[in-house]
Structure 1
Amino acid sequence: MQESAYAKINLSLDVVCRRTDGYHELSMIMLPLTFHDTLSIEFSDEDCWTSDKAMPFDDTNTIVRAVKLMRDTYQLKQHFKIDCHKVIPMQAGLAGGSADAAAVMRGINQLCNLNIPDKDLAALGKQIGADVPFCVINKPAYVSGIGEKIEPFKPVFDYEIILVKPAMGVSTASAFNLLDFKSAKHPDIAKIVSALKEGHDEEWLPLIGNTLEQPAFKLVPRIGELKQQMMEDGFDAVLMSGSGSALFGLTRNHQLIEEIIASNPYADCVCYHTNLLK
Structure 2
Amino acid sequence: MTEQADVGVSVGRACRCPPRSRPPGRTNEGDGSVTTDAHVGFDPAATLDQINAATESLLETAVQFTDADVRAPSLLPNWSRGHVLTHLARNADGGRRLLIWARTGVETPEYPSLAARAEQIEAGAGRDADQLVADLRDSAAQFAAEYRRMPLAAWKRTVRWTRGQERPAARAADSRLCEVLVHHADLGSGYTPERWPADFVQAMMGRVVASFGAREGAPAMRLHATDTGASYDVGAVGAAVAIHGPERSLLAWLMGRSQGLELAVQGCAVLPKPPFLY
Q: TM-score, normalised by structure 1?
A: 0.28
Larger strand fraction of residues: 1
Q: Which has the larger share of helix?
A: 2
Per the normalisation by structure 2, the TM-score is 0.28
